[in-house]
Amino acid sequence: MKKKLLSIILACAMAVSVLTGCSAGGSGGTKVGVAMPTKDLQRWNQDGANMEKQLKEAGYTVDLQYGSNDIATQVSQIENMINSGCKVLVIASIEGDSLGTVLAQAKEKGVKVIAYDRLIMNSDAVTYYATFDNYMVGTKQGEYIEEQLGLKDGKGPFNIELITGDPGDNNARFFFGGAMDVLQKYIDNGQLVVKSGQVKFDEVATQSWSTENAQNRFDAIIAANYADGTQLDAVLASNDSTAMGVTNALVANYEGNHSNWPIITGQDCDVANVKNMLAGKQAMSIFKDTRTLAAKTVEMVDAIMKGKEAPVNDTKTYNNGVITVPSFLCEPVFADVNNYKELLIDSGYYTEDQLK
C-alpha cells in the first residue's frame, strides 16, 4: 500500500513538473522566458518566432511575451516569468535602463539573464549578451555611402542627412558611432554637407525607432533645406523603420522635383524596405539573419541549463555601466540590389512572392 501511494505521489509530481515546464535536469521541459519589445516592427516578430521555434526544438518550454513598447508592461511580463519558474530569461529590452529592479529579483532567485540584441544597462544581473556586431553595422553603412559617393577619391561636396534610433537603446549609439567614425572626416573637410546642421546623436535620434517620428522630422528637414530643388545625395538611416520614414517624407515632399533619388541606408531587411530597394527608393539594408542570432542564443541557454560556460567571442566591448558583459557578436552583412537574391531568397529567409 505504501509503495502504491509513493508511486502515485511520484507520478503526480512528474505531471505537475511537466505542466509547469520546470522539470529538473537536462533541457527536458525546463522553462525559458523570452521578452521581446514590440510586435510593431517586423524584425521583433521574426526574432520572437525564431527564438520560440528553436528553443522548443531543443526541448524547452517557452514563455514568449511582447511588451507593446511599454516599459511597465515588459517589467510585469518579466516578473511573471520569474515567478512562474523560468530558469533563464532572454530579454530584448524596450529601454535599457529600466530593468534594474526586476532583474535584481531574477538574480536573487538564481535566474540567469541573456540580453538579446539590446544591451541591458546598469545591472549586474546580466549574465550574457547575444547580438550582432552593432558597431560593425554602422561601419558598413558608412562605408557603403563612402564607396557609392566616391569619397575616398575626393569627390564632393554632397549633401547628407543623418537619422538614428531610440535614445534609450544603447545599440543606436553603436550604430551611429560606427557610421560616423567613417563619415565624420568627410563632414569635417567639406566633402559631406549636413544642410540641416543636425549632426549630434541627440539631434538625430528617433524616439521608439518610429517611422512616423522619422517622417515628421524629415518632412521638416526637406521643407527647410531641399524644397528649393537642392539635391539631397545621401541619408544615413540606422534601420529600416527610420529609413521608411525618410522615404515617405521624400515621396511626399521631394520626388519629381529632383534629378536623383538619394542613397538611403537601412538595417533589418524588412519586406517593405527590400521592395523599396528593388524600386530604387532605398540603396541598402544591413542583413541580420535572426535565425543565426536565435541559434546562438539557444546555444547559450543550453550551456546555462547544463551548468556550463556559454560561447562568447567578446569580453571587453560591452560595459553596461556596472559590469562588462560577456558577449557573442554575430557578423552582419549588407544587402542591395546586387546580392539580395543570394542573401534573402536563396537562403530561405524570404520567398520570391514575399518580395513582389
Report how far Cα 264 is from the mean position of its chain's Cα atoms.
Answer: 19
User: 282: closest CA among 222, 224, 316, 242?
Assistant: 242
Compute, in degrees rounded to 10, the torsion defined by CA atoms 98, 115, 91, 169: 50
Which residues make Cβ contacts (< 8 Å) with residue 211, sequence separation at least 6? 241, 242, 244, 245, 248
User: 92: closest CA among 108, 109, 71?
Assistant: 71
> Which of helix, strand or coil describes residue 103?
helix
Give the start-end residues of each E strand in 28-163.
31-36, 61-66, 88-91, 112-116, 128-132, 158-163
Q: What local confidence, expressed as pLDDT, does residue 226 receive?
A: 95
Q: What local confidence, expressed as pLDDT, does residue 316 receive?
A: 95
One digit per residue, the tens of pLDDT, for the chain of length 356 reads: 434 433 433 343 333 333 333 333 333 448 999 999 999 888 899 999 999 999 999 999 999 999 999 999 999 999 999 999 999 999 999 998 999 999 999 999 999 999 999 999 999 999 999 999 999 999 999 999 999 999 999 999 999 999 999 998 889 999 999 999 999 999 999 999 999 999 999 999 999 999 999 999 999 999 999 999 999 999 999 999 999 999 999 999 988 778 799 999 999 999 999 999 999 999 999 999 988 999 999 999 999 999 999 999 999 999 999 999 999 999 999 999 999 999 999 999 999 999 98
> Can you give the residue ranges of every domain in the chain?
2-126+289-331, 134-288
> Which of helix, strand or coil describes residue 281?
coil
The answer to pTM > 0.85 is no
Enclosing H/E stretch for 345: none
Q: What is the CATH number of domain 134-288?
A: 3.40.50.2300
The crossing angle, in degrees rounded to 10, of helices 170-188 and 134-149 is 30
Q: Distance (Å, rounded) from C-alpha 267 to C-alpha 264?
A: 11
Q: Distance (Å, rounded) from C-alpha 168 to C-alpha 157?
A: 33
Q: What local confidence, expressed as pLDDT, does residue 9 receive?
A: 34
Q: List, in sequence order, every residue forming a beta bridge with 264; answer none if it has no partner.
A: 235
2-126+289-331 and 134-288 agree in CATH topology: yes
Q: Distance (Å, rounded) from C-alpha 13 to C-alpha 235?
A: 60
Q: Please give the angle made by the CA atoms of 226, 230 and 233, to the nearest 5 degrees.
A: 90
Q: Distance (Å, rounded) from C-alpha 24 to C-alpha 85?
A: 11
Residue with cell 538619394: 262
Enclosing H/E stretch for 264: strand 263-264
Q: Can you say whether the dihedral through the CA atoms of 185, 274, 330, 290 is positive or negative?
A: positive
Query: Which DSSP symbol is given to 118?
Result: S
> Which of helix, strand or coil describes residue 229?
coil
**CATH fold of 2-126+289-331:** Rossmann fold (3.40.50)
